[in-house]
Amino acid sequence: MKLDILAFGAHPDDVELGAGGLLASHANAGAATGIVDLTEGEMGTRGNAEIRKEEARKAGHILGCKIRLNMSMPDGQISYDHESQLKVAKIIRKYQPEIVLMNAPTDRHPDHGRASKLIEEACFLAGLSKIELYDNGVPLASWRPKTMYKYLQFYNLEPNLVVDITDGFVQKMESIRAHKSQFFNPNSTEPETVIASEDFFDSISARAQDWGRVIGAKYAEPLISVRHIGVKNLNNLQ
């Protein structure tokens, strides 16, 4: 299956928080999208790997994704060594995405920055024809996405692209709520975390509204482009 957009996240719920609206709005418009979680989030304060796997499945369905995979890398120990890069490159070649999304380059959770570097370098290696990679014995042709973007997470980094997600905002919020173990639940007996506070959903909505205000939309998500953004006609820009 060829995908238009493939989003990688260090943990289940990373993509929903940073780029869920983007994925939903593009899927609503007919794009083939998918999510790859690098880890099962097993080191998280709340929930466990099995619970989070089911939550991720539901969230991916809400966003309209064609696929959702988990690479089962060790949570808290994501590495961008060559072996890990080739594992990611194999997925990129298999699904041939035109656009790849990834974690922020630096963030509160150290896994996010490491995942960002891993995905960016794997995208380059996936395009090297002399690297041989196979899927069930079948050789995978080299492939490099046309564009790569890093979505913002906990830190307010400076983006260079802001995307209108108004058409996918409701799905974004629903997909985040699908991760019930991680966010506010008045009946939960698990420890409270930063993202499990009662007002966290309000902060997500406010952030999307504020970025929407910047571009004249109701809701938006900011991105950092890995490469320079180029257009042939300035009339294509808002």
The reported pTM is 0.95
Evaluate whether residue 79 is within a structural domain. Answer: yes
Identify the H or E element spanning 112: helix 110-126
Q: Is position 22 within any domain?
A: yes
Residues of the chain with pLDDT under 70: 238
| 60 close to 174: Cβ distance less than 8 angstroms | no
Q: Is residue 237 part of a domain?
A: no
| pLDDT for 238 | 66
* Residue 236, pLDDT score: 76
Pairing mode, if any, of strands 147-151 and 220-225? antiparallel
Does 236 map to a domain?
A: no
CATH of the domain at 193: 3.40.50.10320
- For residues 184 and 203, what is the distance between their CA atoms, to the nearest angstrom? 13
What pLDDT score was predicted for residue 188? 81
Number of domains in the chain: 1
The length of the chain is 238
The whole-number pLDDT of residue 187 equals 80
Q: Per the domain annotation, does 120 fall within a domain?
A: yes
Domain that holds residue 25: 5-228
CA distance 114 to 100: 16
Helix, coil or strand: residue 146: coil
Assigned domain for 217 exists = yes
Identify whether 200 is part of a domain: yes
> pLDDT at position 183, please?
86
pLDDT of residue 225: 98
Residue 3's CB: how many other CB atoms inside 10 A?
22
Residues 55-81 as b or e (16 or more Cβ within 10 Å = b): bbebbbebbbbbbbbbeebebbebebe
d(CA 140, CA 175): 32
Each residue's pLDDT tens digit, 36-60: 999 999 988 888 999 999 999 999 9
